[in-house]
Every structure is written in structure tokens, then in C-alpha cells.
């Protein structure tokens, strides 16, 4: 294999190092770092877990003794603040690094340009912007959470060509092929939490865990259940595979709440109304350090979340099938718009094939 040796080449490696840790850094970003001295790669590092060493520090450790005059390629601006670890800027300065190539600035208000300023103040040459879009997209959940303290919501849904998520009898196995379903399990690993409506539990009794060929992380399971209809024998209440959070209202039955709490479930009140206040729910989940949610709801929850303008990204798998019947449930149920000009539209739309299915993704634009 002959590779083109340039800044993008080293940054690509740093991005791959970062990507390996997607899903395991909690509210922290994924970050990768490659250190090169006189044309030789001397250190590789990634940030693996919140509370543990940052990418630069891991890479500098590997490169020990060979860092003087080196160039560091980092996917995120090195931090300038004291968090769980001392500032990476200080470590780079002390190691005698001559140049730092950065993909993108850190949106964390505690850093946000101060890292670059500190490096430059110590005579280090800094450049920002190599593979910037790739780096920003890798941390899209972190970027949103760190500036809003709200979880980044990815709405994932699968439908037929006629927009149905089941037949009129309720059968939905399967709309898409196993390849698409496997991708969805990787997505579960890469989100802090998964969210469904209580009707999904009543109908399917799912476990909402991550099932892949290799061990993976299970998301926290969130159920929107305004009137606490969740059956006490639901599988996910007893498997102890991941925490369960129920979103309800102060109106819900106090006895049922107590029964659920006795099973180890956290019940969160989201307003005093008849239905869960979804915007308030997002604020409260953000306070619980849930930085990303994979929404796998049915049409009603999908519609309500979209209407509340709290869906950040939509991923739709379309199976090339047609089931017909106006009574078959569809993807998004909400009071529709009268004019096409008022429809929710997506930006940065991307389409690709996944096995036999069509995958469409994009970001809703809210007016
Ligand atoms: C870096 N390199 O590898 C990471 C950075 O809680 P702490 O101390 O780990 O700090 C987390 C913050 O530090 C996080 O919000 C982000 O701004 C930055 N993460 N910075 O230079 C890294 N993971
Ligand atoms: Zn750092």
C-alpha cells in the first residue's frame, strides 16, 4: 500500500484512533493524537474514558524521549483547563513539541480557543482546520451537549417504501435486512441512552440492549410513560443489564410509581400535565449527564419529539417493500402542516445503501 504522506494522512489516523472510543467516553469527546518527529511516528494516543488520560498525554507517554521538536496532530484543540487531568497544552509545551496541527477548536466554553492561544504564547506553531468537518461530525453529540447541556437526540426509524413501520396487524419483523439491524446495534453502543414510548414495551417487550458479534455497551433505557402503564413484568425491568429511567408526570399513580422504584427504576417527573413535557425531560436528562439519546420510538413519540423540536438528527432505513393499508402505522404522527412549504425539512441529507436497504440521514431544520 502506498499512502500519500501529508497532514491529512496523520490527522486521518488520529481520527481513527478517536473513533475507536466512540460510545465509551460518556459526556467527554472522543479525541485522537499522533506525534511525528523527523518523519517518524513516535506516539499514538486516544482518550478512552472520562476521568482517564487525554489523547495527547497517552501519545506523549508512548513517545517519551522523542518529543523534542516533534509535531502533534490532534483531532480536538488541546485543553487549557484543569479538569480531571492537568491541561494537555502544558504537557505539549513541557515535551518540547514544536508544532501542533488541530482538526477543530474545542466548543467547551472552558477551552474554546484558549488552548490555541496558550500554545502560541509559548512559541508553538499552531494550525487549525485539517479534516475539520470530519472531526466536528465525529463529536456532533459532544459538541451539542457541551454548549446546550441537552442530550443530542438521534431519531432512528425503519419503514417500508410507503412509510409504514408495521402492517395493519402490527407485524414488523423485519422491515430491513440484518445488515441494517446490525448497524442500529452499533448505534446503541454509541449513545448514552435509548428512548421508546411505553406502547413499544407493551407491544414488543423488548430488552433494548446492544447485541453485536463482540461485547458492547448497553445504553441506559428511557421509557416515556405519562400514566405509568408499564407492565411490572416487562423484561427490561428484571434483566439488570442497564439502568431504566421512566419519564412521567406528577399526575401519575403514586402506588405504581413506588412499585417501579422498588424494582430499581428511576422515575422522573416531567411536568404536572397529562403528558410528559418532553422539553423539560431533555433538560432533566441532561442534568443526569445523559449526553446522547437514540430515539427508537413509534410514530406517536417520534411525532411528539419532532413537534417539540428536540430531534437533532434523523436516520431512516427504508426497506424496499410496500404493505399498503391506511391503518398500517407510519413513522411520524403529529398534527400535520397544511402547506408543503411548512413541512419539516432536513439539511445535510445523505443517502446510501446498507445491504438491500436505503439509509437516509439528515438534520431537521426548525423554523
Ligand atoms: C483534550 N484531549 O483527549 C480530551 C479533551 O473531565 P476532563 O478533565 O477529562 O475534561 C473534559 C474536557 O476536556 C472535555 O469537555 C473537553 O473540553 C476536553 N477534552 N481535551 O485536549 C482530550 N478528551
Ligand atoms: Zn486535554
User: Considering just the CA atoms, what is the radius of gyration of the chain in Å?
Assistant: 23
Residue 264's Cβ-count burial label (10 Å; 0-12, 13-18, 19+) is exposed
- Please list the residues that pair with 315 across neighbouring strands: 156, 361
Alpha-carbon separation of residue 135 from 2, 117, 142, 194, 242 (angstroms): 24, 20, 11, 24, 30
Percent of the chain with pLDDT over 70: 100
| CB of 107 sitting under 6 A from ligand 1 | no
Separation CA 366–CA 343 (nearest Å) = 10
d(CA 328, CA 169): 7
Ligand 1 neighbour 91 (Cβ under 6 A): no
ipTM of the complex: 0.93
Ligand 1: atom nearest CA of 84 is 8
* pLDDT tens digits along 109-160: 999 999 999 999 999 999 999 999 999 999 999 999 999 999 999 999 999 9
Residues forming the active site = 56
| Distances from the Cα of 114 to the Cα of 11, 60, 87, 136, angstroms | 21, 21, 11, 18
Query: Are 257 and 203 spatial neighbours (Cβ–Cβ below 8 Å)?
Result: no
Q: How far is the CA of 111 from the centre of ligand 1 (A)?
A: 9
How confident is the prediction along the chain (367 residues), in pLDDT tens digits per residue? 887 889 999 999 999 999 999 999 999 999 999 999 999 999 999 999 999 999 999 999 999 999 999 999 999 999 998 888 899 999 999 999 999 999 999 999 999 999 999 999 999 999 999 999 999 999 999 999 999 999 999 999 999 999 999 999 988 889 999 999 999 999 999 999 999 999 999 999 999 999 999 999 999 999 999 999 999 999 999 999 999 999 999 999 999 999 999 999 999 999 999 999 999 999 999 999 999 999 999 999 999 999 999 999 999 999 999 999 999 999 999 998 999 999 999 999 999 999 999 999 999 999 8
Q: Report how far ligand 1's centroid is from the alpha carbon of 146 (Å).
A: 11
Instruction: Note the helical H segments in 83-208.
Output: 88-94, 114-121, 132-138, 140-148, 178-189, 198-204
The length of the chain, given as a count of residues: 367
Q: Does the Cβ of 172 fall within 6 Å of ligand 1?
A: no
| Cell numbers describing residue 130 | 485539517
Cell of 119: 500554545
Q: Are 66 and 94 in contact (CB under 8 A)?
A: no
Q: Are 55 and 223 in contact (CB under 8 A)?
A: no
pTM attached to this predicted model: 0.95
CA-proximal residue: ligand 1, atom 2 (nearest): 54
d(CA 143, CA 282): 16
Span 199-235, pLDDT tens digits: 999 999 999 999 999 999 999 999 999 999 999 999 9
Amino acid at each position: 500500500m502506498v499512502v500519500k504522506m501529508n497532514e491529512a494522512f496523520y490527522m486521518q489516523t488520529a481520527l481513527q484512533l478517536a473513533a475507536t472510543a466512540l460510545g465509551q467516553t460518556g459526556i467527554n469527546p472522543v479525541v485522537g493524537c499522533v506525534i511525528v518527529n523527523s518523519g517518524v511516528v513516535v506516539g499514538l494516543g486516544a482518550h478512552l474514558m472520562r476521568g482517564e488520560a487525554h489523547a495527547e498525554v497517552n501519545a506523549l507517554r508512548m513517545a517519551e524521549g522523542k518529543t523534542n521538536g516533534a509535531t502533534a496532530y490532534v483531532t480536538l484543540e488541546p485543553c487549557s483547563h484543569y479538569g480531571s487531568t492537568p491541561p494537555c497544552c502544558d504537557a505539549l509545551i513541557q515535551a518540547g513539541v514544536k508544532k501542533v496541527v488541530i482538526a477543530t477548536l474545542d466548543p467547551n466554553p472552558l477551552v474554546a480557543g484558549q488552548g490555541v492561544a496558550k500554545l502560541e504564547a509559548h512559541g508553538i506553531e499552531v494550525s487549525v482546520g485539517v479534516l475539520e468537518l470530519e472531526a466536528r461530525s465525529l463529536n456532533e453529540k459532544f459538541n451539542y451537549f457541551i454548549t446546550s447541556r441537552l442530550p443530542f437526540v438521534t431519531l432512528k426509524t425503519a419503514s417500508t417504501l410507503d412509510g409504514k413501520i408495521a402492517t395493519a396487524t402490527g407485524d414488523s419483523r423485519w422491515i430491513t435486512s440484518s445488515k441494517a439491524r446490525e448497524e442500529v446495534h452499533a448505534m446503541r453502543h454509541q449513545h448514552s441512552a435509548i428512548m421508546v414510548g411505553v406502547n413499544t414495551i407493551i407491544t414488543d417487550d423488548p430488552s433494548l440492549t446492544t447485541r453485536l458479534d463482540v461485547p458492547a455497551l448497553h445504553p441506559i433505557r428511557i421509557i416515556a410513560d405519562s400514566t405509568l402503564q408499564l407492565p411490572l413484568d416487562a423484561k427490561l425491568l428484571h434483566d439488570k443489564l442497564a439502568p431504566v429511567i421512566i419519564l412521567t408526570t406528577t399526575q401519575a399513580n403514586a402506588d405504581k410509581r413506588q412499585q417501579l422504584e422498588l424494582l430499581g427504576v428511576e422515575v422522573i417527573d416531567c411536568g404536572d400535565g397529562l403528558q410528559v413535557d418532553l422539553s423539560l425531560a431533555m433538560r432533566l436528562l441532561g442534568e443526569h449527564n445523559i449526553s446522547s439519546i437514540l430515539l427508537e420510538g413509534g410514530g406517536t413519540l417520534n411525532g411528539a419529539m419532532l413537534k417539540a423540536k428536540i430531534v437533532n438528527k434523523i436516520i431512516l432505513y427504508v426497506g424496499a417493500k410496500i404493505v399498503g393499508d391506511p391503518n398500517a402505522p407510519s413513522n411520524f404522527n403529529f398534527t400535520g402542516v397544511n402547506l408543503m412549504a411548512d413541512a419539516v425539512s432536513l439539511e445535510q441529507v445523505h443517502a446510501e445503501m446498507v445491504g438491500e436497504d436505503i439509509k437516509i440521514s439528515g438534520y431537521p431544520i426548525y423554523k
